[in-house]
């Protein structure tokens, strides 16, 4: 699935059209250190960007005379983070009804949400926003960049994953699974019926009973996402709350033969051996450390889902916490915290870093464009003040498609939080 992204087409189109953006054409980032993710770490390297795409990365690259130079020689440059699954940035990510595959987050994403602002501030360049886990067939997600005033500005790709969730909500797990089977069976019946009617239609057309230019009916738009899923044209982002549901989720996937990315609750790591046989990367929910109390001894113990998976070399993508009541809270909203939590629990540093870059890019089918600093990839870069896993490191600048999308020195909310600017919020 290697679709050229519309925004870059737009950019290329703009570039050819208007001479005023020519100066932006070439950007050079002089970095003290480049963490390419896939090709190791380079000291004192230069990244040459052309038309929003990385053209070259290396130590002895001569910057073109007319290129815009960004001096980050005392800083660290790495690709922006990719979040493979989030329901942040929407005021209400869950529809009340369970079976709503025809919904799309395009209609719900709030470009002014603090969630996106926070994401960008913390170096996130790409997010797959998808309906929440409280529904059964929740609707379609979209891939966005957390920058822009309208959903269209932000869109990288619409009609991305389709949310399928086994979270039983208030009902029983059994009932939920039965409901899912029924919903899919309904679509299959519809397809069989439609096929039969289409054949009849073709016959009638041959017999001249209908007009020559008459078209057979379109697929019911309400059923289209599931039809696409069954035809292998869409990928399910399949939420599995705990280890108990993993076997069932795999059975459902195999029975209907659809493509699925498993989005796992923290307790799923108990089925790590089963997940290792899967051979595919999985997405972890933001909560990584789980405390358990032994009912017989009252002894508490903690395990880290990421560490359990890492022990069996199951590749995983990390999530970041969504906001509660519109405000981001808790440390799990910070990519650095999430990666450091992995390392603290014994995960290899590189694996932690990949879990927010190349692995989610692969999960989203964007590994040719995103997730590392390599020639030919989109110039989504973050310039940070030090080791990206340290708490004291701040994101200084974010480049999206080669353009500066964020600068810490001009971040009004940071100024507010550090008491450098009184705002209306204070007066309230």
Partner 1 sequence: MTGPFPKDAVNRNAAMTTRAFLAALLAAPAALLAQPSGDLLVRADRLVISPGNELTERAAILVRDGKVAFLGPEIPAPAAAAAREMRFEGTIAPGFVDPHAHLGIAKDLAEAIDAVTPDLSAADALDPFDDALGRAARYGVCTLALAPRSANAFAGRAAMVRAGVTGTLLMEDAYLKLALVDESLDQNRFPTSRMGAVDLMRLSFARARDAANDDRASQAIRRTLDGGRLAFHTRRHAGITSALDLCDELGVQPLLIGADEAARSTARLVRTRGSVVLAPLNLDSPLRHLRLPATLEAAGVPFSFMTEAPPRDATAATGRAEATNSTAHPEALRVSAALAVRHGASRTTALAAITRVPAEQCGAADRCGSLLQGRDASFVVVGGDPLDLGAPLLAVFVAGKRVDLEDRGDDR
Partner 2 sequence: MIALRQASPRRLHAAGPSSHTLRVGLALLCGLCPAMAQDDAVALRGATVHPVAGPPIEGGVVIFAGGKIQAIGDGQTPLPAGATVIDCEGAVITPGLVDAATALGVSSRDANEQGDEVTPHLHIVDVIDPAAPAFRRARRAGVTTAQVSPGNRNAVGGLGAVVKTRGDTVADMLVRDETCLRVTLGSEPSAGNRPIRFGTPATIYYRRPNTRMGVVWAIRKAFYDAMAYRDRKTVPEEGEPAASDAGMEVLLQALERKLQVRTTARAEQDIRTALRLAAEFGYETVVEEATEAWRVADDLAAAQARVVFAAPSADSSTDGAKPRWHSLNALAAADVPFAIATGSNKAALDLIHEVTFAVRNGLDRDAALASVTLEPARILGVAERVGSLEAGKDADLVVWSGDPFDPSSRPTRVYIDGKEVQ
Binding residues (CB under 8 A) for partner 2: these are: 291, 293, 298-300, 324, 327, 329-331, 336-337, 340-341, 343-344, 349, 389-392, 417-419, 425-426
Q: What's the rounded Cα separation, in Å, for the pair 264 and 318?
A: 10
Tokens at 254, concatenated? 């195999």
337 binds, among partner 2, partner 1, none (CB under 5 to 8 A by kind): partner 2
The backbone torsions φ and ψ at residue 121, rounded to the nearest 5 degrees and listed phi first, read -60, -30
| Cβ-contact 275, 314 below 8 angstroms | yes
Of 85, 107, 254, the residue nearest 163 (C-alpha): 85
List, in sequence order, every residue forming a beta bridge with 330; answer none if it has no partner.
none
Q: What's the rounded Cα separation, in Å, for the pair 371 and 332?
A: 21
The backbone torsions φ and ψ at residue 184, rounded to the nearest 5 degrees and listed phi first, read -70, -40
409 binds, among partner 1, partner 2, none (CB under 5 to 8 A by kind): none
Nearer to partner 1, 215 or 299 (CB): 299
| Cβ-contact 134, 147 below 8 angstroms | no
Output the smallest distance, CB 28 to partner 2, in A: 30
392 binds, among partner 1, partner 2, none (CB under 5 to 8 A by kind): partner 2
Nearer to partner 1, 294 or 426 (CB): 294
300 touches partner 1 (CB under 8 A): no
Of 373, 333, 376, 342, the residue nearest 357 (C-alpha): 373
Output the smallest distance, CB 340 to partner 2, in A: 4
327 binds, among partner 1, partner 2, none (CB under 5 to 8 A by kind): partner 2
Nearer to partner 1, 296 or 420 (CB): 296
Q: For residue 134, how many other CB atoms are within 10 A of its CB?
A: 18
Output the smallest distance, CB 169 to partner 1, in A: 24
Of 25, 31, 85, 38, the residue nearest 59 (C-alpha): 31
Tokens 């990666």, residue? 339
Residue 217 to residues 44, 64, 139, 340: CA-CA distances in angstroms? 61, 56, 23, 54
213 binds, among partner 1, partner 2, none (CB under 5 to 8 A by kind): none
What DSSP line would sit under 367-383, residue for residue?
TTTSSS--TTSB--EEE
Nearer to partner 2, 78 or 275 (CB): 78
Nearer to partner 2, 239 or 337 (CB): 337
Count of residues in contact with partner 1, rule CB under 8 A: 3
Nearer to partner 1, 213 or 296 (CB): 296
What DSSP line would sit under 90-115, residue for residue?
BS----SSSB-TT-BGGGTB-TT-HH
424 binds, among partner 2, partner 1, none (CB under 5 to 8 A by kind): none
Output the smallest distance, CB 387 to partner 2, in A: 9
What residues between 239 and 298 interact with partner 1 by CB under 8 A?
Answer: 295-297
Nearer to partner 2, 213 or 298 (CB): 298
295 binds, among partner 1, partner 2, none (CB under 5 to 8 A by kind): partner 1
Nearer to partner 2, 15 or 290 (CB): 290
340 binds, among partner 1, partner 2, none (CB under 5 to 8 A by kind): partner 2
What are the residues binding partner 1 (CB under 8 A)?
295-297
């Amino acid at each position: 699935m290697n679709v050229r992204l519309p925004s870059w087409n737009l950019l290329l189109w703009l570039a050819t059209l208007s001479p005023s953006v020519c100066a932006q054409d070439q950007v050079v980032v002089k970095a003290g250190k480049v963490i390419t993710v896939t090709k190791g770490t380079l000291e004192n390297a230069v990244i040459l960007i052309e038309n929003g795409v990385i053209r070259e990365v290396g130590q002895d690259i001569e910057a073109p005379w007319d290129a815009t130079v960004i001096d980050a020689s005392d800083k660290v440059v790495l690709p922006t983070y990719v979040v493979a699954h989030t329901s942040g940035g929407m005021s209400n990510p869950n529809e009340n009804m369970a079976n709503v595959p025809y919904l799309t987050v395009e209609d719900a994403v709030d470009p002014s949400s603090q969630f996106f602002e926070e994401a960008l501030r913390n170096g996130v360049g790409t997010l797959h926003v998808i309906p929440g886990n409280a529904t059964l067939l929740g609707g379609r997600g979209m891939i966005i960049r957390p920058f822009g005033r309208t959903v269209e500005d932000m869109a990288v790709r619409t009609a991305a994953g389709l949310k399928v969730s086994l979270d039983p909500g208030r009902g029983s797990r059994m009932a939920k699974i039965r409901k899912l089977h029924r919903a899919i069976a309904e679509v299959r019946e519809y397809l069989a019926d439609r096929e039969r009617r289409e054949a009849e239609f073709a016959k009638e057309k041959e017999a001249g009973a209908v007009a020559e230019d008459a078209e057979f009916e379109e697929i019911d738009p309400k059923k289209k996402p599931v039809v696409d899923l069954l035809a292998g044209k869409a990928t399910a982002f399949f939420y599995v709350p705990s280890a108990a549901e993993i076997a069932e989720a795999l059975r459902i996937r195999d029975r209907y033969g659809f493509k699925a990315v498993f989005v796992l609750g923290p307790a799923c790591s108990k089925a790590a051996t089963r997940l290792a046989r899967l051979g595919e990367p999985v997405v972890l929910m933001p909560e990584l450390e789980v405390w358990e109390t032994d009912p017989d001894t009252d002894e508490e113990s903690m395990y880290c889902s990421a560490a359990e998976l890492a022990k069996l070399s199951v590749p995983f993508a990390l999530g970041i916490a969504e906001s509660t009541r519109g405000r981001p809270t808790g440390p799990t909203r910070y990519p650095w915290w999430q990666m450091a939590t992995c390392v603290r629990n014994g995960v290899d540093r590189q694996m932690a870093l990949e879990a927010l870059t190349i692995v989610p890019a692969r999960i989203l089918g964007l590994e040719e464009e995103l997730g590392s600093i390599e020639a030919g990839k989109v110039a989504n870069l973050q310039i940070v003040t030090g080791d990206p896993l340290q708490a004291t490191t701040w994101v200084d600048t974010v480049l999206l498609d080669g353009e500066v999308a964020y600068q810490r020195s001009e971040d009004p909310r940071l100024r507010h939080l550090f008491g450098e600017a009184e705002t209306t919020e204070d007066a309230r």
